[in-house]
A and B are shown apart, each in its own frame.
Chain A
Amino acid sequence: MNCDTFLACLHPYVDGELGVSDALAADTHAAECPRCRSVATDERGFRQIFRDQPREPAPPELRRRIVVRIRRASLARALRPWLALPAVAAAAALLVVAVRPFVERPAPGVIAELVDKHIAFAQIERPAEFVSADRREVAEWFRQRAGLRVTIPDYSPAGIRLVGARIADVGEHRAAYVVYEKGHTLLSVFIAPAPREADASGTRVTFRGHTYATREQKGYRTVSWTEGGVVFGLVSMLDYQALLECADRLREERAAETRL
């Protein structure tokens, strides 16, 4: 290797990117040629400037934010395959009830009653009036029995099994219950006409951009919201996180049906 060829491969040499034989040849030349040796030393000196710069870490807040977003995306991904609904269930309107003035949160009286019904189902041998694990069958039952189009969310990816359905009288109205089971824990999704009067009780919780009312009653947790004159709610002994996930799922499935 001469000075020209040495200088031509100076950068890869200093960067340790030369092959073994070229690197040896360059070493040999540098040992023999003081000029080239000094050029290489300076080049290393410049590299050192960058190595000496502080290596600041990513802000902890950024890391936290990313981890949260990824875990959330991961959850959404885990559930997405079940989002697609059978075409039969695609018929437009979801629940045929008189549209009432928009009420942000359902009145405690109605919710309390809805929860009491759920507790009553949980005590009896057959919580569901109509027993079926088939969402289409359950939707069809509601349609024939009460003229209701009800979204039957699929919670099976979370190990929550559809048990069946029930219609109950709540105050002057009828409420639709979709009954699920997680192990031996019962979960009801109820849908009822929203009460006229606004409600001030319960704790407001925002989850993925939606506001819910949460309340605990006799050891049962409820997550509910009102949309277009209809109260949607979930009641169970499952924890709030699970109920909120299920509520979010129901919203998504309803939105998907509406789009179809």
Chain B
Amino acid sequence: MISEGASIRWGTRAGRSREFEEVALVHLDALYRSALRLTQNRAEAEDVVQETCLRAFRSFHRFNPGTNCRAWLFTILRNAFLNRVRGAGREVHEGDAAEGWDALVQRSAEHRPGGGSPEEEFFQTVLHGDVDRALKALPLTFREAVVLADLEGLSYKEIAEIIGRPVGTVMSRLSRGRRLLRRALGDFAREHGYVGEPE
């Protein structure tokens, strides 16, 4: 009459978590890396990624299996990040670009290796210090385009989907962001043999 140690199953819908793990969590590393670049802070990056995954899971039933899961996740990540930034009273302007070159040069000059905060030290072990500083100094709108394209290898179309702008906007942001990076990383690139000497 009594079966010893019987256990229970909570129905097939619980199987969704497994599916989500298989389809979505394979992108966790990429999400985390991008969150690190966007937030510039390890703890915050973890929070954003966790929030992203939970939000994604809650709306997983709306995700169409045939479509691009990576772009979908990055869209959620971006929204989670922007909500935080706005929540913290840090405004994000389309015109962040105005900060531009001068700010970039100035900040690069201010931050010399070895003298940074613990977070900076951490990042230096992750990205090369020069690369990290140059990226950090980019206005957010450019930084996100560069991070997605050049660090994570996403296509223009995917990035357009993620930031909710036309491909043309993606191209112009990438172009401007890269131009700033090139100027900041010119010496680094030559010293390390990534580019030839200028003629």
A residues with a Cβ closer than 8 A to B are 11-12, 15, 17, 38, 41-42, 45-51, 53-59, 62-63, 65-67, 69-71, 73-75, 77-79, 122, 157-160, 182-186, 219, 237-239, 241-242, 245
Contact = CB atoms under 8 A, between A and B. Distances in A.
A76 B163 CA distance: 32
Contacts of A51: 150
A112 B89 CA distance: 57
B98 interface: no
Given A49-B189, A70-B17, A77-B13, A122 B1 contact: yes
Contacts of A46: 178, 181-182, 185, 189, 194-195
Contact of A182 (B6, B53, B128): B6
Given A182-B6, A183-B6, A184-B3, A70 B32 contact: no
Interface in B13-34: 13-14, 16-17, 20-21, 25, 28-29, 31-33
Contacts of B4: 219, 237
B49 A62 contact: yes
B103 interface: no
A70 B20 contact: yes
B197 to A, nearest CB: 10
Interface in B31-78: 31-33, 36, 46, 49-50, 53-54, 57-58
Interface of B: 1-11, 13-14, 16-17, 20-21, 25, 28-29, 31-33, 36, 46, 49-50, 53-54, 57-58, 126-128, 131, 149-151, 155-156, 171, 174-175, 178, 181-182, 185, 188-189, 192, 194-196, 199
Q: How would you classify the secondary structure of chain A's contact residues: helix, strand, loop or mixed? A: helix
Nearest to B135: A50
B21 A238 contact: no
B178 A237 contact: no
Contacts of B29: 55-58
